[in-house]
Amino acid sequence: MKKIILNLFLLNFIIVLSVTGRDVISFNDGWSFKKGPFTKSATLLTDDQVGGQWQEVTIPHTWNAKDMQTDLANMSWIRNPQERFYTGEAMYKKTYTPDSALIDKRIFLRFEGVGSVASVYVNNQYAGKHLGAYSAFAIEISSLLKYGEENEIIVLADNTPRPDVIPVNNVLFGVYGGIYRDINLIVTEKVNIAVDDYASAGIFISQKEVNSKSANVTIKTKIDNKTFRKQHINLVTTIFEMDGKTVKAKMESLVTLPTQGRQFLEQDFLIKKPHLWQGLEDPYLYKVVTQIVDDGQILDQIMQPLGLRHFELKTGEGMFLNGKKVPMYGTCRHQDWWELGSALKKEHHDKDLEIIKEMGATTIRLAHYQQAEYIYAKCDSIGFIVWAEIPFVNSVSTLETENAKQQLTELIRQNYNHPSIYVWGLHNEVYKPFQQTIPLTTTLHDLAKTEDPYRYTISVSGYNAIDATANNNADIQGINHYFGWYGGKIGDIKDWAEKIEKEFPDHNVMFSEYGGEANIYQQKEDVGEIGDCCGFDKKYYETFGTKFHEIQWGIISQHPYILASYIWNTFDFGTPLSSQGGIHSRNMKGLVTFDRKTKKDPFYWYKANWSKEPVLYLTQRRADQRENENTSVTVYSNTGTPRLYINNTEVTDFSKGTTPVHYIFNVVKLKEGENIIEVKANDNGQELSDKIIWYYSPENKKSASSEQPKERTEEHIGL
Q: Distance between alpha carbon 1 and the CA centroid of its chain, in Å?
A: 33
Query: Considering 188, 211, 227, which residue would you say is the last residue of a domain?
Result: 188
**pLDDT > 80? residue 75:** no
Q: In terms of domains, do 453 and 596 share one?
A: yes
Return the pLDDT at 40: 60
Whether residues 474 and 360 share a domain: the answer is yes
Residue 484 shares a structural domain with residue 361: yes
The pLDDT score that the predictor gives to residue 43 is 52
Is 167 part of any domain?
yes
Answer yes or no: is pLDDT of 227 > 80: yes
**Of the residues 576, 597, 613, the one at which a domain ends:** 613
CATH of the domain at 274: 2.60.40.10
* Beta carbons within 8 Å of 391's beta carbon, 6+ residues apart: 132, 133, 134, 166, 167, 368, 369, 370, 407
Q: For residue 208, what are the contacts with CB-CB under 8 A and spacing of at least 6?
A: 215, 216, 218, 454
Asked whether residue 405 is assigned to any structural domain, the reply reads yes
The verdict on residue 628 lying in a domain is no
Do 181 and 248 share a domain, yes or no? Answer: no
Report the pLDDT value the prediction gives residue 16, as an integer from 0 to 100: 33
Is 556 contained in some domain? Answer: yes
Is there a contact between 588 and 581 (Cβ–Cβ < 8 Å)?
A: yes
Collect all residues with Cβ–Cβ distance below 8 Å to 318 and sequence separation of at least 6: 325, 326, 327, 328, 560, 563, 564
> Is 218 found in the same domain as 108?
no
Residue-number span of the structural domain to which 483 is assigned: 331-613
Among 189, 389, 410, 429, which one carries the catalytic annotation? 429
Q: Are residues 235 and 273 in the same domain?
A: yes
Domain count, the chain: 3
Q: In the annotation, is 429 catalytic? A: yes
**One domain for residues 419 and 540:** yes
Q: Residues 355-371: what's their mean pLDDT?
A: 98
Residue 571 lies in a domain: yes
pTM of model > 0.85: yes
Last residue of a domain, one of 551, 579, 613: 613
Please determine, for residue 707, whether its predicted confidence score (pLDDT) is greater than 90: no
| C-beta neighbour count of 613 within 10 angstroms | 12
Based on the fold, state whether residues 339 and 263 are members of the same structural domain: no
DSSP 709: P
Kindly give the interhelix angle for 542-556 and 601-610, rounded to the nearest 10 degrees: 20
pLDDT grade for 49, boundaries at 50, 70 and 90? low
Question: Per-residue pLDDT tens for 646-669?
Answer: 999 999 999 999 999 999 999 899
Q: Element (H or E) spanning 514, and its range? A: strand 509-514
Rounded-to-integer distance, Cα 293 and Cα 291, Å: 6
Lowest mean pLDDT across 73-87, 294-308, 507-521, 615-629: 73-87
Residue 51 pLDDT exceeds 90: no
Is the pLDDT at 70 greater than 90, yes or no? no
Spatial contact of 114 and 120, defined as CB atoms under 8 Å apart: no
Are residues 353 and 266 part of one domain? no
CATH number at residue 120: 2.60.120.260
Question: What is the per-residue pLDDT for 42?
Answer: 53
Give the confidence band of 50 by pLDDT, cuts at 50, 70, 90. Answer: low
Which band of pLDDT confidence, cut at 50, 70 and 90, is reported for residue 220? Answer: very high
Residue partners of 523: CB distance under 8 A and separation at least 6: 541, 542, 543, 620, 622, 623, 624, 625
Non-local (6+) Cβ contacts of 542 within 8 A are: 518, 519, 520, 522, 523, 600, 601, 622, 623
Establish if 663 belongs to a structural domain: no
Q: Are residues 229 and 343 in the same domain?
A: no
Rama region for 110: left / alpha / beta (φ>0; ψ in -120 to 50; rest): beta
- The tally of CA atoms less than 13 A away on the side-chain side of residue 529 is 9
| Whether 486 and 527 share a structural domain | yes
Integer Cα distance of 121 and 145 in angstroms: 11
Read off the CATH number of the domain in which 422 is found. 3.20.20.80
Output the average pLDDT for the chain.
Answer: 92
345 contact partners, CB below 8 Å, separation of at least 6: 60
Residue 518 included in any domain = yes
- The residues near 295 (Cβ < 8 Å, ≥ 6 apart) are none
Q: How far apart are CA 375 and CA 415, in angstroms?
A: 11
CA distance 280 to 338: 29
SS3 659: coil
Same domain, 172 and 207: no
Chain segment 488-506, per-residue pLDDT in tens: 999 999 999 999 999 999 9
**pLDDT, tens digit (0-9, with 9 covering 90-100), for 538-581:** 999 999 999 999 999 999 999 999 999 999 999 999 999 988 99
Cα separation, 692 vs 683, in Å, equals 20
Query: If you compute the radius of gyration of the chain from its CA atoms, what whole number of angstroms results?
Result: 28
Domain-located, residue 709: no
